Amino acid sequence: MPIAAPIGDGIFQIPVPITDNPLGHTLVYAMESPGGLVLVDAGWDDENGWNGLQQGLADIGHSVQDVEGVVLTHFHPDHVGLCGRVREASGAWIAMHEADYAMFDGMVTPRDSAWMSGQRENVLRAGASQEEAAPFGVAAGDPPTTAASTPDRTLADDEVVPLAGRGLRVVYTPGHTPGHVCFYLEDADVMFTGDHVLQKTTPHVGNFVYPLEERDALAEFMDSLRRVQSMDVTRGLGAHGIPLDNVAGRAGELLDHHEERLSLLVDAFGDEQLTLWQAASRMKWYKPWDAIAPLGKSMALSEAAAHVRHLVARDEIAQVPGTEPVRFARTR
């Protein structure tokens, strides 16, 4: 179990556990400023996470009451979850980019039977058989985040969050989510990269599966990688894994990775017409397609949809008219 540790420049890393999740932890960063502590992200909301955050703050000589504000890189529950409890304990403000603020409702929607059957319907419309779709949408539960974590401020690109004595610049990096931001701490020349650039893993980039969205998430993500690359920052602190020693270089690797995945996917089509489900099953994942659990498959499916969506934008793949479930084929 990693413990809270100083990074230098008045920055501390606090690993907040994500129960039963292979990611293991969200790395929350605490920054000292004359007004108190500012947290970058807050961690997953359950007792395990809350204890981890409080223990981590104690390890660095602080308590949750010292938190002045929480800036969120994006709306995912492993980042947003605990900020409601932090605000309740300390009166801290919570800030998030306006485009992700608009997504927040989706995280607090009850996972009731209607929501679950919607999940199964999406998989069927993507081309899964009844049998393949059966494991989807069977376990309703609580939404991953509650309205208590609703941010009270929105952030805009290039805004400098005023922390007495320190400037934290908002760098809008949509892709992983529509309103993902990184934060650049000017006095320390370090970038908090959230889930945009990670040292060891490739961040998830997905599109909704049905209907295929207008939004081209992969184009956004790749543009945001180029933006970070052009800023030429070296030191980076991501939300999972280990620190980045070359943010720009890693952004370049991620760009290459997606270019390769795109061209492998075009090859996988051959001269066939494929549903999104089939396209996903032919992509390379961390384990064979048939061995991936339903949650992993739905993440993979949305990632496949993002790649197909982007290949449609590049005019390499097109929807075959009149097919149901929708099929796609190479244009040349």
For the bound state, the minimum distance from the C-beta of residue 75 to Zn ion, rounded and expressed in Å, comes to 8
By CB under 5 A, residue 97 contacts Zn ion: no
Segment near Zn ion (CB under 5 A); pick from 97-105, 141-149, 234-242, 301-309: 234-242
3-state secondary structure of 186: helix
Compare residues 18 and 326 and give the one whose CB is closer to Zn ion: 18
Give CA–CA dist 207/299, Å, rounded.
Answer: 10
Q: Respond yes or no on whether the N-terminal peptide bond of residue 178 is cis (omega within 30° of 0).
A: no
In the numeric block, the tokens 């990775």 are attached to 257
- The answer to whether the beta carbons of residues 136 and 119 sit under 8 Å apart is yes
303 near Zn ion (CB under 5 A) = no
Q: What Rg do the C-alpha atoms of the chain give, in angstroms? A: 20
**Least Cβ distance, residue 74 to Zn ion (angstroms):** 6
Type and span of the H or E element at 200: none
76 touches Zn ion (CB under 5 A): yes
Closest CB 224 distance from Zn ion, rounded Å: 14
- Would you say 28 or 239 has its CB closer to Zn ion? 239
Rounded least distance, CB 23 to Zn ion, Å: 7
Quick one: three-class SS letters along 156-176? Answer: CCCCEEEECCEEEEEEECCCC
Is 220 one of the binding residues for Zn ion (CB under 5 A)? no
Q: Which stretch binds Zn ion (CB under 5 A): 96-104, 166-174, 238-246, 302-310?
A: 238-246
* 70 contacts: CB under 8 Å, gap ≥ 6: 38, 39, 40, 41, 42, 83, 86, 87, 92, 93, 94, 95
**In the bound complex, what is the minimum distance in angstroms from residue 300's beta carbon to Zn ion?**
15
The residue (of 21 and 323) whose beta carbon lies closer to Zn ion is 21
At residue 58, the 3 state secondary structure works out as: helix
Nearer to Zn ion, 240 or 297 (CB): 240
**In the bound complex, what is the minimum distance in angstroms from residue 134's beta carbon to Zn ion?**
28
Least gap, CB of 37 to Zn ion (angstroms): 21
Q: Which stretch binds Zn ion (CB under 5 A): 101-109, 120-128, 232-240, 253-261?
A: 232-240
CA atoms within 13 A on the CB side of 82: 31
**Is 78 an interacting residue with respect to Zn ion (CB under 5 A)?**
yes
Q: What Å distances lie between residue 47 and 18, 52, 82, 303, CA to CA?
A: 10, 8, 10, 31
Interface pick for Zn ion out of 195, 216, 220, 303 (rule CB under 5 A)? 195
Residues contributing to the site for Zn ion (CB under 5 A)? 76, 78, 195, 239
